[in-house]
Amino acid sequence: MSRSPTDAAAVERFRVTLDLFETGEAMMRHRIRRQHPDMDEVAVEERLQEWLRFRPGAEHGDTVGRPVPWPRMPRP
């Protein structure tokens, strides 16, 4: 089964997205190490995971608007 050009483009966009995510993680890991040079690797990873879960300024996601419950309930 061959992929269509559209599928191939979607796969490539997804690969780029994952690469950007990994790069962002690496950058934040370096920042944490620079700010806390005495911190061991376990603590650095814990701080990184905490940042990924509770990023200041993005508590409700990365977009403007008001938070809504998910999954959304159908309107009556």
**Per-residue pLDDT tens for 21-72?**
999 999 999 999 999 999 999 999 999 999 888 877 777 777 777 777 778 7
Query: What's residue 73's pLDDT?
Result: 76
| C-alpha to C-alpha distances, 37 to 24, 34, 76, nearest whole angstrom | 19, 6, 55
pTM: 0.67
Query: What's residue 74's pLDDT?
Result: 76
Q: Which of 5, 4, 1, 54 is nearest to 28 (CA)?
A: 54
Give residue 2's pLDDT band: very low, low, confident or very high (50, 70, 90). Answer: low
- Tokens matching residue 7: 């599928």
Q: Are 39 and 28 in contact (CB under 8 A)?
A: no
Other beta carbons less than 10 A from residue 32's beta carbon = 19
Q: Cα–Cα distance between 44 and 29 in angstroms, integer?
A: 7
